[in-house]
Amino acid sequence: MKEPTIFSDALRNKAISSFDDELAWKLDDIFDAIDEIINSGYAILGGDAWAIVSTQSEHIPLTYINPNEIAIGIIRGGDNIDYVFNWHCDKKKSEGWEDYLKRTKDESIKSIKKLNTEQLVADEFKDSIYYNLVYINEEGHNKLVK
């Protein structure tokens, strides 16, 4: 469930947007995006690292960014093995919403740092990594788990 209005104009302007209105940010800005999501009362269900490449490439698109660029989710590493860089954070049954928000923030930050994506990908992708976040508010989450 995407709510683009939860982001400040300044942060939204730093994001790339897919044709489906999914947003993604460079590493320098993703932690601000996490803060704005949490401060708006949304939990982060998880996220993915995307590499932005030309539509002329032979990579399989995850989503289209514009007529000339696609985001890919299967990214070749420096060791020549393909990887998917992602994480998720499910709500525990006994966990209140505010505790879940805090945990999703903490786990997202830790996961992004642990993924170390920019260092692990092949050289051709090092400068093209963006992070997409999947988030939901409490009402949406309650509908989802029923």
pLDDT digits (tens, 9 = 90+) for 101-133: 999 999 999 999 999 999 999 999 999 999 999
Maximum C-alpha span of the chain: 48
The number of CA neighbours under 13 Å toward the Cβ of 41 is 6
User: Model-level pTM?
Assistant: 0.93
Task: Label residue 41 left, alpha or beta by phi (over 0 means left) and psi (-120 to 50 means alpha).
Answer: left
Per-residue DSSP letter, 62? S
State CA 60 to chain mean position distance: 18
H or E stretch covering 100: helix 97-115
Percentages (nearest 5) of helix, strand, coil residues in the chain: 40, 30, 30
**Cα-based torsion angle of the residue sequence 7, 19, 45, 112 in order, rounded to the nearest 10 degrees:** -80
H or E stretch covering 53: strand 42-54
pLDDT in tens, 46-101: 999 999 999 999 999 999 999 999 999 999 999 999 999 999 999 999 999 999 99
pLDDT in tens, 25-52: 999 999 999 999 999 999 999 999 999 9
State CA 96 to chain mean position distance: 24
| Contact predicate 51/121, CB 8 Å | yes
SS3 assignment, position 66: strand
